[in-house]
Amino acid sequence: MTARELDAAGITDPRLRAAYTACRRLNARHGRTYFLATRLLPVDRRAAVHALYGFARRADDIVDDLGTDATTEERAAALDVLESQWRHAVQGGEVREPVVMAAADARARHHIPERHFTDFLASMRSDLTVERYPTYADLHAYMHGSAAVIGLQMVPVLGTVVPRAEAEPYAAALGRAFQLTNFLRDVGEDLDRGRVYLPLDLLAAYGVDPDLLMWSRMTGCRDPRITAALRAAAALTRGVYREAEPGIARLAPVSAPCVRTAFVLYRDILGAIERDGYAAVHRRAVVGRRRRAAVAARGLAAALAARTLPGGALTTPVVPALSRTDVRRTWARNGAELDRATGATETTSTTGTTSTTGTAGPAGGGER
């Protein structure tokens, strides 16, 4: 965490500053699109976003990455400790876990309802035992806690130009869109963990079941039924993006470019999966660095323009399309940190270790 961000947010206690800084490091290391988009926020709002990410990331790591040999019982015990620390912190008690300290402080500063964290932890706990979702309705219920509530947590931090309740359904939908994108992109990695997040009824409609997916993963062989099912899953996800998109205009103008950037970059993952022939069972599709840089530069231009608007402005300024020269010039003036962030996602892996459960993007569940 930069001192400028902490000072702007009014965070003065040395222990809290260290806790927020630890969360920022987690975001920079794991939340690539998320960290990039967060850099577009006004400086005083970034610390809270990093804190919320850090807490979600810690829970996600317990569920998926707490040592390769950790048993379900050991993971459940670790989640119990985190949840106990969280309850103690929100009741005003002192804790030593940095991500809990920072997230509890952010919750209090921004008056984020505690139920959003309770629901999140409940979905994380379900990942310890639930490996299949028979219907989309079942998956939707899981995503309320793993993704939608992350968007709901973000709304008070981002600010709105409408009553908060009007913006919240769109934020929840964007959280689901981001996580559905994760499920599709990481279907092969989830199979390695014994999980299938794509609804079984959707798969069955195309003659696919978990055994066929695992056969394809293990042998490297393609099957047209799997391609058709993943194409349908992508179409479903695009529909959720359409549901969520009107909410961006309901956010504070200084925050909207951040969310718009995350929206575009995450939706672009669907295009990358399509261009890769829906081979997500075998490898992770990525958005290229040049595209990420162009989208981020346009977001940066919009963010800078929004900060010059009168306080009561209700719309995000329209920013004209940027040429390659414009991108370079904008980057040279303002984008050094963004440039470093965009360079972090060029490696494609068929056996990656990042999970697809709970961690969030700027307005919803998202990237690890």
Give 339's pLDDT tier (boundaries 50, 70, 90).
very low
How much is the CA Rg of the chain, to the nearest whole Å? 20
User: Does residue 24 register a pLDDT over 90?
Assistant: yes
353 contact partners, CB below 8 Å, separation of at least 6: 65, 189
Do residues 183 and 190 touch, judged by C-beta distance below 8 A? yes
CA end-to-end span of the chain: 19
Q: What is the pLDDT of residues 49-85, one digit of tens each?
A: 999 999 999 999 999 875 668 899 999 999 999 999 9
65 contact partners, CB below 8 Å, separation of at least 6: 353, 355
Q: Name all domains of the chain by residue range, CATH numbers in brackets.
A: 3-365 (1.10.600.10)
Helix (H) or strand (E) holding 110: helix 98-110
Report the chain's mean pLDDT, rounded to a whole number: 85
Q: Indicate the DSSP class of residue 249.
A: G
What backbone torsions phi and psi does residue 340 show, to the nearest 5 degrees? -65, -40
Give 253's pLDDT tier (boundaries 50, 70, 90).
very high
CA triple 139-27-49, angle to 5 deg? 80
pLDDT for 67: 60
pLDDT for 255: 94
Q: Which residue has the higher pLDDT, 62 or 358?
A: 62
- Give the separation between CA 331 and CA 321, rounded to whole angstroms: 15
pTM here is: 0.83
pLDDT for 98: 95
- Give the separation between CA 43 and CA 50, rounded to whole angstroms: 12
pLDDT for 296: 82
Mean per-residue pLDDT, 143-160: 96
- E strands of 96-255, at which residues? none
- Which residues, in sequence order, are bridge partners of residue 364? 361
Report the share of the chain in percent with pLDDT over 90: 69
Helix (H) or strand (E) holding 360: strand 360-361
Give 1's pLDDT tier (boundaries 50, 70, 90).
low
Give 266's pLDDT tier (boundaries 50, 70, 90).
very high
Helix (H) or strand (E) holding 364: strand 364-365
The residue with tokens 């961006």 is 248
